[in-house]
Structures are given as structure tokens and as C-alpha cells.
Amino acid sequence: MTVQSAQQEEEQRLARSLEEIDRQLRGIGPRYFGDDYTEQLLDRQREERQQRLEIAAKEPYFGRIDYQADTEAASKPLYIGKAGVGGDESGDPLVIDWRAPIASLFYSFSGGEAPVTYESPDGEMTGEIHLKRNLLVRQRELVRVVDSYVRGVEQVSANDEFLLYRLGESKDNKLRDIVSTIQEEQDNIIRADRNRALFIQGVAGSGKTTVALHRLAYLLYRYAGRIAANRMIIFAPNTMFLDYISGVLPELGVGDIAQTTFADWSLALLQFEVSLVSSADTLEYWFEQERSAAEREEAPGRWKGRAAFRALLDERLAELERSLIPEAPFEPHPGLKLSPDKVKEWLDTDYGGDEPLMKRRERLASRVKRWLESEWKERRLTDKQAKTKANAKLNAYIKKMPSYSAPKLYRTLFDGKQAHPDIPKAIAKRTLQQLKLGVVDPEDLAPLVYLHIRMYGLDTALFDHIVIDEAQDYSPMQLEALRLCQRVPSFTILGDLQQGIHDYAGIRRWSEQMDLFESSSVGYYELDRSYRSTMEIIEFANRVLAGMEGGVKPATPVFRSGEPVTVTACEDTQWGAELVAAVSALLQQGIYQTIAVVGRTALECEAIHSLLESAGLQASLVQSKQPAYKGGLTVVPVYLSKGLEFDAVLIADASAQAYRDGDAKLLYVGCTRALHKLQLLHRGPLTPLVSDQA
């Protein structure tokens, strides 16, 4: 088939499809606002259908495969889109949802006449593919048709033209969905089994965040009715990042999934009984001045974050459990005794198991009360005075069963004689001082959450699935706390050890987290291809890490060539003027929607921001606790740029003074934020991390 006739064929098909989608949209009945439960359910279904059709009415599909099942005599065209649309009377769907089992062929098929297989609910299906076609529809118009495979024709399209087209686009201030260009290695992760602790180590720009969000949409589709969006949660590093990723799930037609930071979630769970030291203080401490490797390793965050710290918490919980039974028997009336052994028996047998400790305490207290009432009944006691006396004794007895909040129990670990001997003195001293003021450090949140859940349980339902982004910054103790929120592990845990700039609190090896799970429930994937940046940028960034200890895996670029990376030396006195000139030049090109000037510290960024403003260049300054990333021209400290991306990045000062030998990960993070253009300026000698590339 010629390109022209393919275009014609698809234009006709698009017109028919749109007509049918519009017809279905018109046929949806009016909304229902009454109290009838069945009607409400039907209304919700109608609304969901309407949302799907509205997505399809703009861009019904992006791909087509002509597939011949083993059991059939001829191939059928299957159109794949963001939202599935039912067909007319013929019974065949008009558009197949990208998450449907058969749609996996579109992502996994890379040519050849060999039989293909996919997993369906009825088992493995086999067939042949005759055509794989990419279709670009924008605002109901067919813009492009590209065949990447036609049976019987040698190698139709060598490169994934569509992928390169998408990657070449410039980006605004929001992450986007990638349904039309998901790559096979990404699709394997998206469709992996639900009940797993799935770890994904992926280089910068390999699509980890994007893939995790698509996986949620997939899980909701695949396990519809069994899992719910409002029982899923995404943990991301900060509120600005949450805002940046907030568009993807709605684009995929998914709402209602909680997206939060571990700190915000923990503080709410602890009912704000404690507050957190300012995150700006923590960041300033670790990033504004040089901190040695030894200091980072021995940091309180590492100490309290270890899985071994859990043993100390468990010890304290066990002690609390033992102390729930008052030593002396309960004697409400002369001659009537309830022995500690009997109370222990109740605690162990009737209220044992997994129930939270303080809930067991409550039940135990009620049990003792019931025992007293039944004794009264048996003895036909009517003497009101005797009863009042006994009730007073009952209250005194119950008071002897200790009741703690999580922070109060936690405090005992660090406090005076009760303090745990294994805790280093300096850590105990600081923690206690803080707790007395009702304040905690970030690393205290996970142990507090752990204690709270073990003592009081969760207020909300258990989670069906948990996503942790930038998980290399999570301590094993955080994972321990989150594990309590599920019956069976169902996690997507993603990160990049090479970007582990918060290693004073996070991990050095994935095994630190993986070892918390049974090996049979752990899955591990690596993503090595980087989709964000041009080849030039990736090769440059790879060499920043090259000298680093500990088996660095370089990112593999997609074949997308761009401008060379530039490194420019400036006289100290000229640096400000050169910076302004470089930013102006980038703006004047008019092709970059987002430009970042990346500084080493918050202080330096404030100075750069003033410099740009006084030169008449409007820029937004990113600070910790920033609620949203606005796009346009941004000045950002390197440690807050993690997770974000910009069309062009200017590293403001890549001098040896700013980036020392130990700062390779930090500079790597800065460089890998760039999609199309990377420039470095330096005043004073260039950092040794890139000196071979200048």
C-alpha cells in the first residue's frame, strides 16, 4: 500500500470512528441527582463512559495492528487508544484500551514473521501480525501515518520515528502521558503482577515516574472491582514535584489517587501531635556546606533509618504489652479476686494476634468491666454503695494499664534511665530535646508511624497499592512503616542510586530495602535507556559519574542528536554579565518553553535571581516547600531540581569550588534535567568532575 492510500484509508476510518463516538456521546442520558442507590450507580457508570468518550472524541487512537489469531482465517485491524470504546452491532470494539491484554502486542512487537503471543485472562494467545502502524491524531485531524512494519516488506522503518518525534517536542511545566510510545521494557513493568514489591532502578530520564503512573492506570483497569483508586497512594519527594506530575493520571482517565509526601502523610496520621523541623533547615545543613562521607554515613537519618532500629521499637512495644497487665490482682469486693494470670489469658487468647496494642488495651478494660458485672449478677448484688466502691476500684485498676501515644512511647527510648543503651548519646540527646518541644526530625517520622500503627492501627483502609518515587532517598525504616499498611506487599518502588543525593538518610544499595520482603514477593527491573536528553547531554552526564566508586551504570541514549554541551570559563568579575547574556540568548532563540538556571545553593540562587531581575529578565525562584513549578524561566538549587526537566539547562557555576569530588551525583542530577540544551559556566577553575570534557 502506498503512503498516500494509507493516509486516505485512515482518514476515512477516522471520520467513521469520530462519527460513531459522537453518536455514542449524544446517546448518554442526563445526569441523576436523586437518592436511589441503583440509579446513583448507573449514573456513575454513565459518567465514566462519558469521560472515556470525551477523551476518544479528541484523539481516538494512536496505533493500529493488523492481527490474525491462530484460530481465525484472516487478520483484523485493531485500533489502540487511550480509552476503549465499544463498537456498533458488529460486536468488535471500535477502539481497544491501551491497557487491554491484546494491546500489549502493539508495544512488544518489533517486526518479523514469527508468531506473537500475549497473555489474556483465558491463557496465552498466539497469532501473527501483518501490520503495525502509528497514527498521530491531533484535535480530530489525522496528522501523520507511519508504518513501522508491513508483513512481507523488509524493514519498513528503522528508527522509531514516532518516539523521536515525541522526544523532540519541547515541554511545558507538566509531565505528560506516553501511551502512544511506551517502550517494551517499560511496558513489562507497567503490566507486571500486582502483588509484588516491584523495585525499578532506572537511570535519569528513563521514564520511571511516568511508568509508575501508567502502572497505576493499568492496575486499576486489570483488577477493576478488586482494587480502588482511593486505596492507592503515591509518595513523591515534595509538593512542587507532586504538582509537576499531577496532570498524568487525569490524562489517563484516572482520578482519586492520593498523591502526597511521606512527611505530610505521617504528620496527618500522627494527628499533628508533633511538628517537623523546617525542611529548609535540613536541606541547608546538608547542601549549603561540605559534609564528609563519614558524616553522611553516621548521620542520625542513617542510624534511625536502619531496619535494625525496628528491633528497638519492637522491644519497647513488647514491654508495653507486658505492662498492660497490672501486677496486683483486681479485688473489687472482699473475697472476690481477678488474678493477673486470668487477665493475661484474656489478653493472649481473646485479644491477641495482630490487633493494635492500644485497641487491645481498650478491649481488655471492657472485658474486666464485663467480668465485674457478671459477678454482680451471679451474686445478685444490689447494694449500690458497694457497687460504687467497686467501680472506683475498677477505674483505678484500668488506670494501671498504661496508655501511650506514639510520641510518648518513642520518647522513652531516649529518656533518662529508660533510654535504650544502644542509642548513641548525641542522637538520644538531640531527639529528646526536640521531642520536649513537640518537634521531630524527618528521620523520626517513620519510627513514629510504625509505633502509631502498631498501637492504634490505621484510620483509613489498608492500601491496595503504594508507589514510592525517588525511593533511593527512603530508609528501610520508612518501608517498614509502609509495609504495615498492607496485608500483602503491592508496591512500585522506583529510584536511581546514582541520583542518591540524600544518602545521609536514604540507602546505598537496593538490598537494604529489598531484604525487608520475602524474596518470592520481590521483583527487580532496570531501565538503562534515557529518553529525556539528547545523546550529547547523556554522554556528558555519564562522564560526570564515571569516576565515582561503586559500579556506575551509564545511561544509554536514544539516538537523538542535538547541540553540543558547552563549558565556558568566565572571569570572576564578568560572571554575572556572562550569565545574563547566556540566559538572554536562550530566551531569544524562542524555541525553549522551559529554561532552568541551576545554582549550587539556595543562597546562590537568590543572588542569581536578583541579578536576572535587575537585568529585566523575569524568572521564578524555586525554594523548598514550593507548592508548584510554573515553567518558563526558573532559578533552582540543584538539589531541588531532582525529578523535574527543562528544555534548556544552564549550570550557573560549575567551578571546583562549587562542585567538589564528592558532588558527582549532585552535578549529574543538574545536567540530566536538560532535554535539548545544556550549558555550563564556571568562575575560577572548573570542577574536576568535568575537566576532561571542557
Binding-site sequence positions? 202-209
Cβ nearer to ligand ATP, comparing 475 with 530: 530
464: left (phi over 0), alpha (psi -120 to 50) or beta: alpha
For ligand ATP, give the closer residue by CB, 176 or 291. Answer: 176
Secondary structure of residue 40 in the 3-state scheme: helix
Nearer to ligand ATP, 452 or 560 (CB): 560
Annotated binding site for ATP, which residues? Answer: 202-209
d(CA 17, CA 15): 5
- Say if CB 492 and CB 219 are below 8 A apart: no
Please, are residues 214 and 188 in contact by the beta-carbon 8 Å criterion?
no
Shortest Cβ distance from residue 122 to ligand ATP (Å)? Answer: 29
Cβ 253 to ligand ATP shortest distance, Å:
18
CB 317 within 8 A of CB 450: no
CB of 643 to ligand ATP, least distance (A): 4
**Least distance from ligand ATP to the Cβ atom of residue 538, Å:** 11
User: Which residues are near ligand ATP by CB under 6 A?
Assistant: 163, 166-167, 171, 176, 178, 181-183, 186, 202, 204-210, 496, 499, 531-532, 643, 645, 672
Closest to ligand ATP by CB, 46 or 508 = 508
| Backbone φ and ψ of 77, nearest 5° | -75, 135
Quickly list DSSP for 636-661: EEGGG-TT--EEEEEES--BTTTS-G
Distance CA 189, CA 199 (A): 10
* The Cα angle at residue 16 between residues 15 and 18, in degrees rounded to 5: 65
- Given a contact cutoff of 8 angstroms between Cβ atoms, the answer to whether 498 and 668 are in contact is yes
In terms of CB distance, is 190 or 313 closer to ligand ATP?
Answer: 190
Question: Nearest approach, Cβ of 606 to ligand ATP (angstroms)?
Answer: 25
Minimum Å gap between C-beta 525 and ligand ATP is 12
Contacts 24+ apart (CB under 8 A), 3-8: 3/145, 6/133, 6/145, 6/147, 7/142, 7/145
Residue nearest to ligand ATP (CB): 207
Of residues 266 and 672, the one with the C-beta less far from ligand ATP: 672
Closest contact distance (angstroms) between CB of 470 and ligand ATP is 8
Please identify, using beta-carbon distances, which residue of 19 and 526 lies nearer to ligand ATP: 526
The kind and range of the H/E element at 202 are: strand 197-202
Residue 62: count other Cβ atoms within 10 Å of its Cβ: 21
- Quick one: cell of 78? 485493531
Pairwise CA distance, residues 676 & 645, whole Å: 10
Closest approach, Cβ 644 to ligand ATP, in A, equals 7
Q: What nine digits make up the cell of 321?
A: 504489652
Residue with smaller CB distance to ligand ATP, 475 or 672:
672
Q: Nearer to ligand ATP by C-beta: 46 or 174?
A: 174
SS (H, E, C) 385-449: HHHHHHHHHHHHHHHCCCCCCHHHHHHHCCCHHHCCCCCCHHHHHHHHHHHHCCEECHHHHHHHH
Please tell me the distance from the alpha carbon of residue 362 to that of residue 17, in angstroms, as a whole number.
62
Cα separation, 291 vs 678, in Å, equals: 28
Distances (CA, A) of 625 to 105, 134, 263, 293, 636: 43, 41, 12, 27, 13
First-residue to last-residue Cα distance in the chain: 51
* Cβ-based nearer residue to ligand ATP, 238 or 405: 238
Pairing of strands 529-530, 556-557: parallel
CB of 245 to ligand ATP, least distance (A): 8
